[in-house]
Amino acid sequence: MVLSDKRATSPLIAEVMLVACAITIGIVVWSFARGYSSYEMTSYWQKASENIHGLKERFTVEKVAFNFTGDSSGTLLAWIFNYGEIDVEVKIYVLINGIAVNETSSYTKIAKGSVAKFTLDLYPISSGNELVIKVESLRGNVNFDSYKVY
């Protein structure tokens, strides 16, 4: 009888070790799944938040004027109106026949409900040129306007 009692402890120890291993593996998998889902949730919220801000961004080229300063040079004045719900940062490009002839050196912040005036010197320019004014925000939204030089 003593011999059979010793044999019974071995399966019991194996059973306890198997249960302990299963619980440990379950805890590791649960911890990984919880951490990964938290990471994905945060990443998704950041992307959604960026898209929401992009949708709230609204601006337009309010007015454009051009003054000749020489035979083949001039100054372009552009007023950009931010009518969106948030402040925007924009950069202005001036194109002739699809080629950029000048641009602002950096992004300029325009508060919501405000108008910003931009001045760009252009060379070479002549009467009859059609200028395309491209306004691009830091978030990638774009607005265009055109102006014919007379």
CATH code for residues 58-148: 2.60.40.10
Residues in a beta bridge with 116: 80
Q: Tokens 């059973």: give the residue.
A: 15
C-alpha distance across the termini of the chain, in Å: 115
Q: Is the pLDDT of residue 89 over 80?
A: yes
Q: Tokens 């009859």: give the residue.
A: 128
Q: Let me know if 125 is exposed, middle or buried by CB neighbors in 10 A (0-12, 13-18, 19+).
A: buried
| In the chain, domain spans | 1-56, 58-148
Q: What is the pLDDT of residues 48-87, one digit of tens each?
A: 998 998 899 999 999 999 999 988 999 999 999 999 999 9
Which tokens in the block code for residue 87?
A: 């402040």
Q: What is the pLDDT of residues 91-140, one digit of tens each?
A: 999 999 999 999 999 999 999 999 999 999 999 999 999 999 999 999 99
* pTM for the predicted model, two decimal places: 0.71
